[in-house]
Amino acid sequence: MMITSVRLARGVRLRRETFGAIAYVSERDHFYALDHAHVDALRKGGTPEMAAAGICESDLPQRAFYGRSQFGSFPEGLPAVSLPLVVNCFATADCPLRCTYCHADDLMTGYRDRDDPSWPDEVIRVARATPAMVGVVTGGEPLSRPDNAERLIRALTRDKAVVLDTSGMGDLGRLTPVLRECGVHVRISLDSSDRDVNDRLRPINRRYLPLGASSHRSAWEALHLARAESLSCSAQTVVTAQNGSYAQLLALRDDLVAAGVRTWTLHVVVAAGKAAHRPRGLLTGDDAVQTLVRVVDDTAAAALPIDIRVTSTHRAPNSTLLISARGELAVQRGDGTGKDVLPVSRFAARSGVMRHFRRRIDQAGHASRYLNGTLDLSVRV
């Protein structure tokens, strides 16, 4: 149940849970778990901390929380959620990049170059049946099919906060009016401050792009455009053995801070999709998470104005809910061997989605993915 009888900041969604509530702050692309005491405080106008996190209306300035995603007491650890937090909706299976670790490559194989005009309607139908707080418009590359992306954005925004997940390869400017109108958060993929490293991890697809095109350049152009257009935006990075050293991550962080980016999401590469075959020199070692914690600690010590979120799909591969470009529900298998593709009947569609969510999604992993369970920084402020 969505809670509406409080003074939430613009673009914030609040959903009741048995432990209190979940808040999603669109501007920061960040979820927070609130215990009952903090929900009660929010009904009375909120606290300075919640205002600083962007949850409630206030004249106080926002600040970074360096991974913190919990307000209140959660003695048993991260709380479980009753409904999905996020559903990822494919606008297309086409992509102008050939990312070496592409998590969704196996879900797009066979769909590329086959886009059917009816497919976006199926994606929208299944997304509407999915009671998630956030709908991510992704792919493939949504900018490859801006018409599909706009249709999904307008449909999803009726009952969800919306995120556009993009490499920046394409005409982001064409979508700027609908992004602004619908309050969409733009999340842009960038893997390294070093162009060569970035473009080696995210090489272009010569079927779509000419020689000289660069995923590094396109990502920075998209970030600068989003900032210039005053769109809420953030960067996301897939951490691999090639870009995941402490020095490399600090260099990218510093570039993002200098560019005015205020949210950075880090995904440890998952042995799924293209990476399921464990290509040499791609997967990280056991010390990857410790390196990320060091990056967060350094960022907090320097009081830099950037939030950092670390997802946990590397620990729970079956924690993400996907809708294919054809409108099928899809879930990565827990052993990383592939994805289960699950048609959703037109009859009792929501019940079907929730049945799959409860049976196939790692519930603790789903909450951890979006509530910074990898960092477990609940005591750091």
Asked if pLDDT for residue 380 goes beyond 60, the answer is: no
With cut-offs at 50, 70 and 90, classify the pLDDT of residue 83: very high
Q: Name which residue leads in pLDDT, 335 or 202.
A: 202
**Cβ atoms of 55 and 32 closer than 8 Å:** yes
Are 104 and 24 within one domain? no
Task: Flag whether 5 is in a domain.
Answer: no
Are 43 and 92 within one domain? no
Are 46 and 166 within one domain? no
Are 151 and 273 within one domain? yes
Asked if pLDDT for residue 113 goes beyond 90, the answer is: no
Structure tokens at 195: 């162009």
When divided into structural domains, the chain yields a total of: 2
Task: Flag whether 375 is in a domain.
Answer: no
Residues with Cβ within 8 Å of residue 5, at least 6 apart in sequence? 43
With cut-offs at 50, 70 and 90, classify the pLDDT of residue 106: confident
With cut-offs at 50, 70 and 90, classify the pLDDT of residue 66: confident
Are 118 and 206 within one domain? yes
Give CA–CA dist 273/278, Å, rounded.
10
pLDDT of residue 191: 98
The CATH number covering residue 175 comes to: 3.20.20.70
Task: Flag whether 331 is in a domain.
Answer: yes
pLDDT tens per residue across span 115-141: 788 999 999 999 999 999 999 999 989
Asked if pLDDT for residue 288 goes beyond 50, the answer is: yes
Task: Flag whether 207 is in a domain.
Answer: yes
With cut-offs at 50, 70 and 90, classify the pLDDT of residue 157: very high
pLDDT of residue 378: 36
In the block, residue with structure tokens 């350049």: 217
The pLDDT of 284-305, averaged and rounded, is: 91
Its domain, for residue 55, covers: 12-71
pLDDT of residue 374: 61
The pLDDT of 231-241, averaged and rounded, is: 96
The DSSP result for 166-232, as a single string, is E-S-S-HHHHHHHHHHTT-EEEEE---SSHHHHHHHS-B-TTTS-TT--HHHHHHHHHHHHHHTT--
Q: Which of 28, 148, 152 is nearest to 87 (CA)?
A: 152
User: Percent of the chain at pLDDT above 70?
Assistant: 94
Task: Flag whether 378 is in a domain.
Answer: no
Are 357 and 248 within one domain? yes
pLDDT of residue 375: 66
Are 102 and 244 within one domain? yes
Are 211 and 156 within one domain? yes
The pLDDT of 251-272, averaged and rounded, is: 94
Q: Could you give the residue ranges of the DSSP H alpha helices within the chain?
A: 36-43, 48-52, 105-108, 119-128, 146-156, 172-181, 195-201, 215-228, 246-258, 288-301, 349-360, 363-370
Q: Which of 271, 266, 273 is nearest to 322 (CA)?
A: 273
CA 52 to chain centre: 21
Backbone angles phi, psi at 228, to 5 degrees: -65, -30
With cut-offs at 50, 70 and 90, classify the pLDDT of residue 205: confident
Give CA–CA dist 357/320, Å, rounded.
10
Task: Flag whether 1 is in a domain.
Answer: no
Total Cβ atoms within 10 A of residue 214: 18
In the block, residue with structure tokens 């990280």: 284
The whole-model pTM stands at 0.94
Are 47 and 109 within one domain? no
Total Cβ atoms within 10 A of residue 176: 17
Are 213 and 320 within one domain? yes
Give CA–CA dist 283/221, Å, rounded.
28
pLDDT of residue 314: 65
Task: Flag whether 381 is in a domain.
Answer: no
Are 363 and 290 within one domain? yes
Give CA–CA dist 16/2, Å, rounded.
6
pLDDT of residue 183: 97
Q: Which of 272, 94, 98 is nearest to 199 (CA)?
A: 98
Are 65 and 164 within one domain? no
Task: Flag whether 2 is in a domain.
Answer: no
